Structure 1
Amino acid sequence: MASYSIATTKDRLSALIDRARAGEDIVITNRGKPTARLVPVDVDGSPDVVAATGRLRARIAGHGAASIPVHRFGDWLYEDEAG
C-alpha cells in the first residue's frame, strides 16, 4: 500500500485515482499520520455500497427522512448501530 502526503496527493490526484481504479489501495497522510484512503470501487456490486443502500432504504421506509437536517443525516442513518 503506497502512501502520499496531502500536498503530493493534490499534485498527483488524477494519477492516484487511476492507480486506485486499477486496484491499488493508496493511503493519504497528514503530517505523517494516515488520514484517508483511495481504494477501488465497484459501484454495482460492492458489499459496502449494497449494505449501505439496504440500510438507507430500510431507515427511510420506517421514518420520515425528509425531516432530518443534512448535517445530521449520517448520524441518523447509523444511530441504531452506535449503541
Structure 2
Amino acid sequence: MAVMLSFDPTPVDRCVCHNVTFAELLRIHRETGADLAELQRRTGCGTGCGMCVPYIRVALATGRERLPVMLEPGGRDAE
C-alpha cells in the first residue's frame, strides 16, 4: 500500500480531469457493482491524466470518499 501523508490539508476526493467525486463513484459502485473499468466507461474517471486511478482503487477497496495524498500516487503499491 502507498505511504499516505497525513499532514496534507487537502485530501483527494475526486477525479480532477472529469470532476467526478469518489462519493459519486462509490454510489455507482454500491448501486450497480461497477468495477473500475465500468466506472471509467460511465463517468470518464481516470481516463484523463490517470493520477486518480490509484486513489479510485483505494476508495473502492475501503469505501473512503476522501484520501490523503499518497507519497507515490502513480505507484502500483496503492492497489
Return the index of the structure with the highest Cα Rg.
Answer: 1
TM-score by length of 1: 0.25
**More contact order relative to length (CA 8 Å, sep ≥ 6):** 2
TM-score by length of 2: 0.26
Question: Greater strand percent: which structure?
Answer: 1
